[in-house]
Amino acid sequence: MALEGVTAPVVEIRGVRRQFGVDPPVEALRGVDLRVWPGEWLAIVGPSGSGKSTLLNIVGCMDRPTSGSYSFNGIDVAGLTDKQRAGLRSRHIGFVFQAFHLLSHRTVAENVMISEVYRRQPRRGRRERAKAALDKVRLGHRADFLPTRLSGGERQRAAIARALIGAPRVLLCDEPTGNLDSATTARLLDLFEELNTQGLTILMITHAPEVAARARRRVGIVDGILTEEA
């Protein structure tokens, strides 16, 4: 459902199939249709092997569909070169994973700044932008700590800050609470709700119904087939 005042989806997938191998092929996605509107918080719920990670990889421009179409913010992704897809991904899509992927020998602020190094952003003002991203997730007071001195929830907040520093249009979250206890999970979901209320579009995959319940919209996926949930 479109949000009030929004006329075009930021993610539009039509008839997407993804096959692996050839003899016989494994069909990870089977004719998936999906629209995600700016400002939505969507949870994609399914068991291991259901195709949810494959779908997230296609949305994140890290993989291509075998057939079907995908447009991001009105751009036909299938028509882009690998270099153009990488550029779109780095400018407009933020990623948060179950494993935090923080460099243990770099401070929290340096881990966040690395995102700008990969995106070839100017060095001037880099630390200030990293600090602003950390403040947004209420981790500014840990900027000079090493990740080894942080709790699991704090490490995930650092990873979210790293994803936010580029002001992405969409935040893709792959089982972001999978390594966290229930109390820390609840606090992290509160943060996602706050970011979404501020206008950030979030796509989150999870196998946990109680995590998905916090999202504003849910779809289910089983054996590569996507269904809208009530």
Token readout for 125 is 């003002």
One-letter identity of residue 127: R
Sequential pLDDT tens for the chain (230 residues)? 455 555 789 999 999 999 998 788 889 999 999 999 999 999 999 998 899 999 999 999 999 999 999 999 999 998 899 999 988 998 899 999 888 889 999 999 999 998 877 666 767 888 899 999 999 999 999 999 999 999 999 999 999 999 999 889 999 999 999 889 999 999 999 999 999 999 999 999 999 999 999 999 999 999 999 998 64
Token readout for 56 is 């997230």
111 closest CA partner among 145, 152, 151: 145
In a domain, residue 4? The reply is no
| CATH number, domain containing residue 146 | 3.40.50.300
In a domain, residue 181? The reply is yes
pTM: 0.90
In a domain, residue 2? The reply is no
In a domain, residue 145? The reply is yes
In a domain, residue 144? The reply is yes
In a domain, residue 5? The reply is no
Task: Work out the angle between the directed axes of helices 108-118 and 126-136 (0-180°, nearest 10).
Answer: 120
b/e sequence 143-166, b meaning 16+ C-beta within 10 Å: beebbeebeebbbbbbbbbbbbbb
In a domain, residue 142? The reply is yes
* Residue 32, beta-bridge partner list: 16
* CA quadruple 156, 230, 194, 112: dihedral sign: positive
The parent domain of residue 164 ranges over: 11-228
Report yes or no: 128 and 143 within 8 Å, Cβ to Cβ. Answer: no
**Number of domains comprising the chain:** 1
Token readout for 99 is 């494993």
